[in-house]
């Protein structure tokens, strides 16, 4: 009897030690890691809003990489200067698939009012995508201007992070050609976002049903073949592609760049910009009254 009871206790202890932690037992700093989306916010263009957390950086509401910190359940986003942050929220509820942010300071309340007409912003977790590992030689990316301040750029980056960049307009550095090396942490992040895409299922073009917006496109060289995809307006494309494009637009901001006019002669795939840019749909016909 003692032997049986002892065996049972050992089995119970072993199972308890090796069972995965429940979601709520994990630290809040681990639970918020990942990609979150607020679908169809109440804004003029009715666009979805992305919020993405990595261990040390956050991709925030303004589509930029910024610092953040957690103090208890208080979330500080976008460090303007030491220990001074643009946004302060209280995490009211963090379920496995939902993140509820209560606005605390004036900037957060102003943002929440614009996006939701209340002090609360609710984001849903983008479900983890199936992992699709593949090896690429090089990727090329571009973004165009829009009827506004959309950053326009083109770059090529190989699998080791060698980076050739052209700033065109509304980037944080002056127009011109640059060369650099993408930091290893950023390179790992980009590869992780890439591998969430089932690249062989991507359509060549995704077009939103409005005008005057930005187009982004990617060309993935796979050695003897390639895949390319373009999205106009961020509306019809897979969410994973939208997240990737948002990250790619900010790679240059974390890369130490050196001006180099010879970069323009080193670009290999720049023509793909013109091969696949989807034209915006025509405006709807005017109906007579």
pLDDT at 211: 81
Q: Quick one: what percent of the chain has pLDDT higher than 70?
A: 83
Tens of pLDDT, residue by residue over 48-65, are 788 888 887 787 777 677
DSSP 242-260: HHHHHHHTTGGGGS-EEE-
Mode of pairing for the β-strands spanning 65-71 and 138-143: unpaired
pLDDT at 268: 96
pLDDT at 45: 47
Which carries the bigger pLDDT value, residue 128 or residue 185?
Answer: 185
**pLDDT > 60? residue 261:** yes
User: Residue 184, SS3?
Assistant: helix
Nearest to 233 by CA among 247, 221, 220, 245: 245
Asked if CATH classification 3.30.1560 holds for the domain at 138-276, the reply, yes or no, is yes
pLDDT at 171: 93
Tens of pLDDT, residue by residue over 91-113, are 987 788 999 999 999 999 998 88
pLDDT at 38: 85
pLDDT at 287: 58
Instruction: Retrieve residue 96's tokens.
Output: 């496995």
Tens of pLDDT, residue by residue over 156-174, are 999 999 999 999 999 999 9
> Taking the mean position of all CA atoms in its chain, how far away is CA 186?
12
**pLDDT > 90? residue 270:** yes
Q: For all residues of the chain together, what is the average pLDDT?
A: 84
Model-wide pTM > 0.85: no
SS (H, E, C) the chain: CHHHHHHHHHHHHHHHHHCCCCHHHCCHHHHCCEEEEECCCCCCCCCCEEEEECCCEEECCCCCEEEEEEECCEEEEEEEECCEEEEEEEEEEEECCEEEEEECCHHHHHHHHHHHCCCEEEEEECCCCCCCCCCCCEEEEEECCCCCCCCEEEEEEECCCEEEEEEEECCCCCCEEEEEECCHHHHHHHHHHHCCCCHHHCCCEEECCCCCCCEEEEEEECCCCEEEEEEECCCCCCHHHHHHHHHHCCHHHHCCEEECHHHHHCCCCCCHHHHHCCCCCCCCCCCCC
pLDDT at 1: 52
What would you measure as the largest C-alpha separation in the chain, in angstroms?
91
Tens of pLDDT, residue by residue over 3-15, are 554 454 444 444 4
Domains of the chain, by residue range, sit at 26-125, 138-276
pLDDT at 41: 57
Fold (topology level) of 26-125: Lipocalin (2.40.128)
């Amino acid at each position: 009897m003692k032997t049986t009871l002892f065996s049972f206790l050992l089995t119970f202890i072993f199972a308890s030690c090796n069972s995965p932690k429940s979601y709520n037992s994990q630290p809040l700093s681990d639970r918020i890691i990942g990609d979150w989306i607020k679908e169809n916010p109440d804004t003029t263009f009715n666009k979805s809003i992305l919020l993405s957390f990595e261990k040390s950086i956050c991709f925030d509401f303004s589509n930029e990489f910024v610092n953040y910190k957690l103090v208890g359940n208080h979330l500080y986003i976008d460090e303007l200067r030491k220990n001074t942050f643009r946004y302060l929220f209280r995490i009211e509820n963090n379920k496995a698939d939902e993140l509820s942010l209560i606005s605390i300071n004036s900037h957060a309340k102003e943002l929440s009012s614009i996006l939701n007409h209340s002090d609360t912003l609710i984001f849903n977790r983008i479900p983890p995508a199936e992992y699709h590992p593949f090896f690429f030689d090089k990727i090329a990316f571009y973004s165009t201007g829009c009827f506004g301040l959309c950053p326009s750029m083109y770059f090529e980056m190989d699998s080791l992070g060698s980076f050739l960049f052209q700033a065109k307009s509304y980037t944080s550095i002056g127009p011109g050609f640059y060369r650099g090396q993408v930091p290893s942490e950023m390179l790992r992040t980009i590869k992780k976002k890439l591998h969430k895409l089932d690249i062989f299922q991507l359509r060549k073009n995704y077009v939103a049903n409005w005008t005057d917006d930005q187009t982004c496109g990617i060309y993935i060289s796979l050695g003897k073949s390639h895949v390319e995809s373009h999205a106009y307006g961020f509306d019809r494309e897979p969410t994973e592609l939208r997240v990737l494009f948002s990250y790619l637009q900010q790679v240059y901001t974390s890369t130490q760049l050196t001006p180099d006019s010879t970069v323009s002669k080193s670009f290999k795939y720049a023509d793909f910009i013109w091969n696949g840019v989807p034209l915006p749909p025509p405006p709807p016909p005017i109906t007579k009254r």
